[in-house]
Structure 1
Amino acid sequence: MLQASHQSPVMMSGASFVVSRGVCRRRLSHSHEMEVQPEAVRDWSELPLDVLASVFAKLGAVDILMGAGLVCHSWLEAAKVPSLWRYVDMEHHDVLRGKKKKRRDVLCAMAKAAVDRSNGELEVFAGSEFVTDQLLKYIAERSPSLKSLSLDYCNVTNEAFTELIIKLPLLEELLISLCPFVDGDAYEVTSRACVQLKRLMLRQGPYGGIRDGALGIEMMHELRYLTLVNSDIMTEELVAIIDGCPHMERLCVRNCSNIVVDGTLRAKCSRIKTLILPPLQHMQNVRSRYIFHPDDSVFTDKFDDWRSS
């Protein structure tokens, strides 16, 4: 066995090898030594830009901003390739929670850097509680190609949200989860501004005050997928949505206490391929309105999971 700390001879076919300080010397029978140099260390900074960019594409935006892009100058240049920043998920990373959680201003600065590097090519953005009105305005002014937006636990105002939405004509997917100040006319504005919207997921909470409802969704005529959780939506509003969205393929309604599920409603939904409705009314009355149902786990999925469904 070779010993790393001292010279160690190894016999092989009439000759011995001596390993010392990382250099292998072959001791020949006539007392001469031939030195065999170890393999040269590969310089990863010299990889072509397109190769580095392909590797970075396997990482998330946060990991590039906090890790790979800081290694050396060539890696930083590769980390600025706009195509890497079409998908920015800042909703499901360790720096957003627990011991590794970063300050809000740090996370907002990172999000702005990601938007800048996209050079107008940003297509998917997912953010959580760190998102501010100012960040939404920053995205609105620089991301005309945005197709998918996810906001989770964000205390942004209705005004900031609607100012963003009216600048996103290509938006196809929208997730709003537990954002207490996004309600009322926000959905009407969305229906007028985002005529290509195909997937909508709304999860509301026991905020009180202004009734949130689902006004305006019935005008989203291209909707294919709709999920409503903890909404104040009424039965007649749900019927209007079903009538106004002829392409609906999946409808999930959970913990919506104002919905009366009966044969008439189910008949109205008969053309929908995947249907998840609240329990029958007499069972619904004994349940808490805000019970978390296993099917609500859709709110932890990224939108690419929805695209593949």
Structure 2
Amino acid sequence: MMASCLRSGKKAKRESATGPNWLELPKELTTIILQKLNTIEIVTSASPVCSLWWNICKDPLMWCTIDMIEDSDHPNHKLEKICRYAIDRSCGHLEDISIGNFATNDLLKYIADSTNHLYRLRLRECRAISDKGLIEVANKFPVLEELDISYSNLTKDSLKAICRCCPHLKALKFNSTGNLYDEVAFAIAGTMPKLRHLHVALNRFSNEGLDAILDGCPLLEYLDLGFCFNKTCVTKSLRKRCPDLISKRPGFHFTSKIMISSKKIIGWTLVNEENISQFNYV
């Protein structure tokens, strides 16, 4: 009896030391766990572990989302190779892709030619993508709902092409080195009635441009006019349209954003000692 207990204790101790057998998990649960990894981790680390994980990672539905926006120690040419591999694995099911600074015009075209279902595209610090490259593929994203282009060299020409080709956008972030004028505001207002979130940095919108956006995008909930050069257009336009709805939230920091809701409009922009008095909403 005692010997049996000792054997049982040793067996339990060995199992505790070696940890659980991950291969005994249900396939559905293993799939969910693997989907928590980013694309680089799946391609380089997870899929080669065993035949089970390899077969799970062969499923095109594993690649509906490709996330390669975080910094990596891999050189750009290897990151692009991994990205193309993941796109091929999706077999046309790609819906959501996020890419860091290694993206090129050729890679963007590869994405556009590989799927008709892309609803979300994020390009972060992709300065190798040019206006020409983006304009050539903009019409291949007809169902796009979310677009984030941050810290790029793209200009108003790219943004105007997006306006023409992506009428279903609900969220747009365009943060580039080029200034944006009212022609861009009018393009957004005239083509994006479903827009709910808008961030456009380095803009020179006038009251008329801001009015056009507020009129043309009736579902707008969030508007960020980051680094707006026309600091008075925000307050003048909002005062004119909704003088009884403007309020100031106590204790908040001035940034350069406008929040719009069904009950009130809260506006704030870059503030200094010279212009702070005009933002004292009652």
- The answer to whether TM tops 0.5 is yes
Q: 1:114 to 1:25 in 2, by over 3 A?
A: closer
**Correspondences of 1:245-284 after superposition (within 5 Å):** 245-260=217-232, 261-268=234-241, 272-273=260-261, 275-279=266-270, 282-283=274-275
**Whole-angstrom distance in 2 between the partners of 1:59 and 1:153:** 22
Q: What's the CA shift string for 1:75-118, capped at 9, x where partnerless? A: 112112122211212112x42xxxxx111111111111111111
Aligned-residue offset at 1:120: 1.3
Q: Partners of 2:26 and 2:4 in 1: how far apart?
A: 38
Say whether 1:204 aligns with 2:176: yes
Indicate whether 1:89 and 2:67 are aligned. yes
Q: 161, 165, 173: which is aligned to 2:134?
A: 161
Q: Which residue of 1 aligns with 2:37?
A: 59
Which whole-Å CA distance do the structure 2 matches of 1:25 and 1:251 have between them?
A: 65
The 5-angstrom pairing of residues 14-33 of structure 1 reads: 15=2, 24=7
**Secondary structure, aligned partner of 1:67:** helix
CA 1:235–1:154: 2 relative to 1, 3 Å: farther
Change (3 A) 1:267 1:247: farther
| Mapped contact 1:149–1:174 kept (Cα < 8 A) | yes
What is the TM-score normalised by the length of structure 2?
Answer: 0.76
Instruction: Kindly state the Cα deviation for residue 276 of structure 1 after the two structures are TM-superposed.
Output: 4.3
Deviations 1:16-46 (A, max 9, x none): 6898xxxx499xxxxxxxx98976x876457
CA–CA distance in 1 between the matches of 2:51 and 2:82?
Answer: 19
Instruction: Please tell me the residue identity of whatever aligns with 1:218.
Output: A
Structure 1 pair 25–246 and aligned structure 2 pair: CA distance change class (3 A): closer
- Structure-2 change in CA distance of 1:116 and 1:89 (3 Å): same
Aligned partners of 1:86 and 1:250: how far apart in 2? 28
Instruction: Note if 1:112 corresponds to 2:90.
Output: no
Structure 1 residue 277, shift from structure 2 partner = 3.6
Deviations 1:216-249 (A, max 9, x none): 2222221111112333434432222222212212
Tell me if structure 2 keeps the 8 A contact 1:108–1:130: yes
- Partner AA of 1:278 in structure 2: T
- Greater Cα radius of gyration, structure 1 or 2: 1
- Calculate percent identity across the aligned residue pairs: 30
Q: Structure 1's 80 and 185: CA in aligned 2 closer, same or farther, altered over 3 A?
A: same
- CA distance 1:262–1:77, change in 2 (3 Å): same
**1-structure distance, mates of 2:8, 2:38:** 46
| Equivalent residue letter for 2:52 | S
One-letter amino acid of the counterpart of residue 275, structure 2: M
**CA distance in 1: counterparts of 2:159 and 2:48, whole angstroms:** 41
Q: Distance in 1 between matches of 2:102 and 2:213?
A: 32
| Residue number in structure 2 paired with 1:126 | 98
Deviation (angstroms), 1:133: 0.7
Give the one of 66, 69, 72 matched to 2:50. Answer: 72
Worse overlay, 185-194 or 45-54: 45-54
